[in-house]
Every structure is written in structure tokens, then in C-alpha cells.
Amino acid sequence: MSLTIAEENYLKAIYHLSDGGTKSVSTNDIAAEIKTKPASVSDMLRKLGDKAVIEYRKYYGVNITEEGKKIALGTIRKHRLWEVFLVDKLQFAWDEVHEVAEELEHIQSPLLIQRLDAYLNYPKFDPHGDPIPDEFGDVKARPRVALNEMEIGQSGQIVAVKDSSAAFLQYLDKVGAYIGARIKVMDKVEFDGSLEILVDQKKNLFMSKDVAANILIQQS
């Protein structure tokens, strides 16, 4: 099925907003995610409905179909593989790759993506810790918890971030928090939920609740 770049972007947004197709999504939520007007969203939803990649009933929300999920996961797969390539092979920083991958994800060449995957030795996660769907759309997620939900004395490894904006990633670089770092919660402030954490058994950091909520940990 041939979709435009805009249609693929909408499908990807709907997939994320629906938690992988498990719930309905409102047009207002889609408009906020795409950064456009609800009226424009309604026009696009009618087009996507005609192509049977979503089910849309006015006032009842949007549900992504199985075909829609397949296309969305394919786009996500390409995006995350390109991010790995840009960081590992072209030495981009992890805060520089999102916009470039947004363009590369729309290349329509299954053979190119198969060879890219093999060239990268079949990575399971992108530079931000997000799982990369395989060629069949299967996603191998790993158990993880937001840092702000951990208790004093608990420890683990940073495996992903919720916020992949350049500003947030640059902040993590500045304080020395990175994917793979070992952390331990040393203290939590009752007043505002901020934390003191130990990184790699040698560096103490003080982190706000909002920052900690965007850092995902695999506990150990």
C-alpha cells in the first residue's frame, strides 16, 4: 500500500498515542501530537479510513487497524535503525539524530532496510533505549521503571529515556547520565520528589522529579 509521508507520520503518531493500538485516540490528542488544527486532522483521518489503516467514527475516536499497525511499526523500525546507524557509524550525537531519522524513515526499500539491519548486526535498541521492531513487527521490550518511582537504596541501569528532545539529551550529557550507566538512589526529598543518585559508584547527582520521570531503569 502506498502512503504519503504525512499519512505515515499520522499513523506513527496514532500508534504511539494508542499505546500500540490498545485504546482509542481523540482527534484533539492527534492534533496536539502532530501540531496542527483538529480540522486538518479530521480531513486526514477520512483519507486514512478510506485506506483501511484506521477506523474513525466522529465523536468516538480513532482506532488503528492491524494493517495500520504493520505500517506504523515498519516506519518506527526504519527510524530507529537509522538512528543507530547515525550514532554508531557516522558519530552523530544522540541528540542530533531524531530529525535526520524522521526524513530517512520514509525511504521505501525493504531490501535497503534488511541490509542496514544486517550491517548494524541486528541491534535490538536504538541510541535512546527504545526497542527496534524486527522485520515481522515484533517488539522485544524489557522490564523498566521510571527513576522517580524507585525507592532509596534501589539500584539498576539506565536503559532508555522517555524524552528524546535535544534539550533533555544535552542536559543528560552535561550531568553524565547516559544509557548503560549504573545508578543507585541515595536519597529522596519528600517536599518536591527530587532525588540524589550515585552514578557508576563514583558520582553523586541531584535530580528533579521531572527529570527522573523521563529516565527509565532496569532494576537489579
pLDDT above 90 (res 140): no
Average pLDDT, the chain: 94
Distance of CA 190 to the CA centre of its chain: 30
d(CA 205, CA 38): 42
Where are any strands of DSSP class E within 78-133?
A: none
pLDDT above 80 (res 214): yes
User: Residue 220's pLDDT band (boundaries 50, 70, 90)?
Assistant: confident
User: Residue 39's pLDDT band (boundaries 50, 70, 90)?
Assistant: confident
Rounded to two decimals, what is the model's pTM? Answer: 0.89
38 compared with 185, residue with greater pLDDT: 185
Place of cell 501530537: 33
User: Residue 33's pLDDT band (boundaries 50, 70, 90)?
Assistant: very high
d(CA 185, CA 152): 5
pLDDT above 80 (res 83): yes
d(CA 162, CA 175): 17
Tell me the average pLDDT across 96-110: 95
What does the pLDDT read at residue 142?
A: 84
Please write down the HEC assignment for all residues of 13-28.
HHHHHCCCCCCCECHH
pLDDT above 90 (res 123): yes
Same fold, 5-64 and 145-219: no
Does domain 145-219 fall into CATH 3.40.50.2300? no
Per-residue exposure over 64-97, b if at least 16 CB sit within 10 Å of its own CB, e if not: bbeebbbbbbbbbbbbbbbbbbbbeeeebebbbb
pLDDT above 80 (res 1): no
What does the pLDDT read at residue 157?
A: 97
**What does the block give as the cell for 179?**
544509557
Portion of the chain with pLDDT greater than 90, in percent: 87
**What does the block give as the cell for 18?**
494508542
What does the pLDDT read at residue 177?
A: 94
Please write down the HEC assignment for all residues of 174-197.
HHCCCCCCEEEEEEECCCCCCEEE
What does the pLDDT read at residue 111?
A: 97
Domain boundaries, the chain: 5-64, 145-219
What does the pLDDT read at residue 26?
A: 92
Tell me the average pLDDT across 39-56: 92
What does the pLDDT read at residue 38?
A: 83
Protein fold of 5-64: Arc Repressor Mutant, subunit A (1.10.10)
